[in-house]
Amino acid sequence: MSRATPSSAGPTRRGALAAICLLLAAPARPADVLDEIVVTTERRSTALADVAASIAGLPAADIVAIGAQHPHELFTRVAGAWVSRGSGQESLTAIRSPVLSGAGACGAFMTLEDGIPTRPPGFCNVNQLFELNTEQAQAIEVLRGPGNALYGANALHGLVNVRMPEPGADGFAAIEAGGGRFLRLQAGLPLATSDRAYGSVLVDHDDGFRADTGYRQVKAYGTAQLGDPAAGFRVAVSATDLSQDTGGYILGEDAYKDEALRVSNPNPEAFRDAASQRLYGVWSRQSDGGYLDVRPYVRHSSMTFLQHFLPGQPLEDNRQTSAGVLVLAERKLGGTRVKAGADVDVADIRLLETQAEPAEGSPFLVATRPAGKHYDYSVRSIDLAAYVEGRWTLGSYAELGTGLRLEYTRYAYDNRMLDGNTKDDGEPCGFGGCLYTRPSDRDDDFLNLAPHLTISVPLSERTTAYLRASRGFRPPQTTELYRLQSGQASADLATETIDALEAGVHLRRGTWNVDGALYAMRKKDSVLRDADGYTVNGGRTRHAGAELEVDGRLAPALRLSLSASYAEHRYDFDSVAAQGETFVSGNVVDTAPRWLGSIDLAYTPTASLDIALQWTTVGRYFIDAENLHDYPGHALWNARVALTPTAAWQFVLRLNNLTDERYADRADYAFGNYRYFPGRAREAFLELRYRAGAD
């Protein structure tokens, strides 16, 4: 056992402000770095300098150059964010937060595709980033902190909006191969000569660097413009399919440094099969006096996976079918801009959990985790929201913005097997009852009100400072309410909320863009399992930090990009939870590095040669709530060389983990053991890309 102190310095603190992370793959920009355009806060193009919020954007050119095989590689370039890489395409997300896990962890972050949530409010998935086509996106935008009035349930710590290509996008084809027998094929094709349709597809395969951890993945997307683009309707369809063999934690202090352990897999039987399909439309019309945007959608997702991390290894099968519409209207009334809207989302959710064989281990485990069905239930949900925002110009000195969102969420739960905590045939379990408890049929309602207030002050023609106060919320997830344990007959949970205060600046000077922010947040009614195994509210945490993003040119051929964040995430309550874990107010939340960052340097000596170098770091963090065990952090070097002999053809060599560092993608301490997902060793990948119409 190692005892860490909050002030202990790891290798990643040696650069102090150098907690700044890097993996560059961005091609050269024009001599002037242009103001970034975002759409997330308005659902239409807006200069980032005019937005009173902290938003990071990755444009298509950077996404293509990075060539990420996992979302983790993209999010190293977003200050304040960390997408922890799991086995295959699995991930855990942090945005102005610790890396969160558990049933409701994903509810802290909203994921969107073209501004439309990819899942119903009560049915998130901690790995839901693999349902998005981040590899072929037109842009990825990350809003840090609670969303504005346009976004409600689940926009707690932040949101990720993946903007997909529109009709008229350029065609391309690419093939890439590298370490772990990785092979990726992808293509994009204009589907009509008049630039009225576009489609793309991606297929990749990876054997994995650990035993029995390979995956196969397919992503497809298509869009078409119906009618006049100025006032017509754009329809889009996207689909993903993932089949992977899943790796479990390796155990033992510093096990990720052991050459044999790091490539082993204690759970070769584990797997995950997941698929998603979404059909949606975007209709918008702009006039001198206002703007109207309507986005209907239908979506479906399903997943089957072996819960190898639980005794008895039950199999879970879950699925949802849902539909809805988002309506936004804006009107200019004198010197005031007023925006109002309404959202409707209905869903049919199903979950089935079965265990093929009796659990192994102690008599208690064998008796309380029986073979057969554990849960079989459905939930019909409806989510209704209305909101209004206003922006007023206060002379030439400032702009005041305010908004309010009212949201109602209702779940109608139907238990499709016996109530209580018996076996599926009604026979009671020993030791006081089965671990799995099924509540009786019930309905649950949640009504939430979320205000926000902003003040923007122009400091110069291209520099703006802002102050923002906002509230975020998430109603309990269906699994938190209806997938109970330890004899708990019902879970009376409240909505988890967070109140945030943020001050920031957007600065534009010549070829330099600088965005910085300071924030403080307090979250309450977080859901946890207490020492009796009951699902209860009561968790409270405090969050404060600073973020900095810099992008510009040191010389005409040399571009620097920097993202850095320092944050304190602390418990604000005292409790003894399940498995005896003790939460002490003031302790640092586990899996919450203080420092995250990256530095990227791109050198473009000629139009045909692009060389990029990245340094990326994750700081030291505690891996248990009592702050008794820690992971020292790590720093990695990555590189990229792109050769473009003609306008149409490009060869790209990517080198990851140049120094062959032994590190952990994620560290944890539980059940008396250090547990790790080991990181990948040095790897090389070669891509050949053809750009249609570039000859």
pLDDT for 328-345, tens place per residue? 999 988 778 899 999 999
pLDDT confidence band for 582 (50 / 70 / 90)? confident
Cα 415 to Cα 26: distance, rounded to the nearest angstrom:
51
Beta bridge partners of 284: 293
Cα 50 to Cα 108: distance, rounded to the nearest angstrom:
26
pLDDT for 530-564, tens place per residue? 555 567 788 899 999 999 999 999 999 999 999 99
Cα 299 to Cα 238: distance, rounded to the nearest angstrom:
9
pLDDT for 109-152, tens place per residue? 999 999 999 999 999 898 999 999 999 999 999 999 998 899 99
Higher pLDDT, 383 or 20: 383
Cα 176 to Cα 221: distance, rounded to the nearest angstrom:
20
pLDDT confidence band for 7 (50 / 70 / 90)? very low
3-class secondary structure for 310-378? Answer: CCCCCEEEEEEEEEEEEEEEEEEECCEEEEEEEEEEEEEEEEEEEECCCCCCCHHHHHHCCCEEEEEEE
Beta bridge partners of 302: 275, 319
pLDDT at site 228: 76
pLDDT for 188-230, tens place per residue? 999 876 678 999 999 999 999 999 999 999 999 999 998 876 7
Cα 359 to Cα 313: distance, rounded to the nearest angstrom:
8
Judged by DSSP in three states, 386 sits in: strand
CATH fourth-level superfamily of 11-592+609-691: TonB-dependent receptor, beta-barrel domain (2.40.170.20)
Long-range (24+ apart) CB contacts under 8 A made by 60-64 are 60/137, 60/138, 60/139, 60/165, 61/26, 61/27, 62/25, 62/26, 62/27, 63/134, 63/135, 63/136, 63/137, 63/139, 63/140, 64/689
pLDDT at site 220: 98
Q: With contact defined as beta carbons under 8 Å apart, do 388 and 333 qualify?
A: no
Judged by DSSP in three states, 577 sits in: strand
pLDDT for 342-374, tens place per residue? 999 999 999 999 999 999 989 999 999 999 999
Structure tokens belonging to residue 274: 């997941």
pLDDT at site 489: 81
pLDDT for 486-510, tens place per residue? 778 888 899 999 999 999 999 999 8
pLDDT for 375-410, tens place per residue? 999 999 999 999 999 999 887 789 999 999 999 999
**What number is the average pLDDT over the span 673-689?**
97
Report the alpha-carbon angle 686-687-690, nearest 5: 155
Q: With contact defined as beta carbons under 8 Å apart, do 72 and 665 qualify?
A: yes
pLDDT for 605-632, tens place per residue? 999 999 999 999 999 999 999 999 999 9
| Cβ-based neighbours of 11, under 8 Å, separated by 6 or more | 632, 633, 634, 635
pLDDT confidence band for 264 (50 / 70 / 90)? very high
pLDDT at site 578: 66
pLDDT at site 102: 78
Buried b (16+ CB within 10 A) or exposed e, 64-78: bbbbbbbbbbbbbbb
Report the alpha-carbon angle 677-679-685, nearest 5: 140
Phi, psi at 308, each rounded to 5°: -65, -15
Phi, psi at 74, each rounded to 5°: -80, -45
Q: With contact defined as beta carbons under 8 Å apart, do 325 and 295 qualify?
A: yes
Query: Per-domain residue ranges for the chain?
Result: 11-592+609-691
pLDDT at site 105: 82
Buried b (16+ CB within 10 A) or exposed e, 536-550: bbbbbbbbbbebbbb
Q: What is the mean pLDDT of the chain?
A: 90
Cα 82 off chain centre by: 9
pLDDT at 314 over 90: yes
- In DSSP notation, 532-560 reads TS-EEEEEEEEEEEEEEEEEEEEETTEEE
pLDDT for 513-536, tens place per residue? 999 999 999 999 988 765 555 677
Any idea which residue has 């024009």 for tokens? 30
158-163 and 109-113 as β-strands: parallel, antiparallel, unpaired?
Answer: parallel
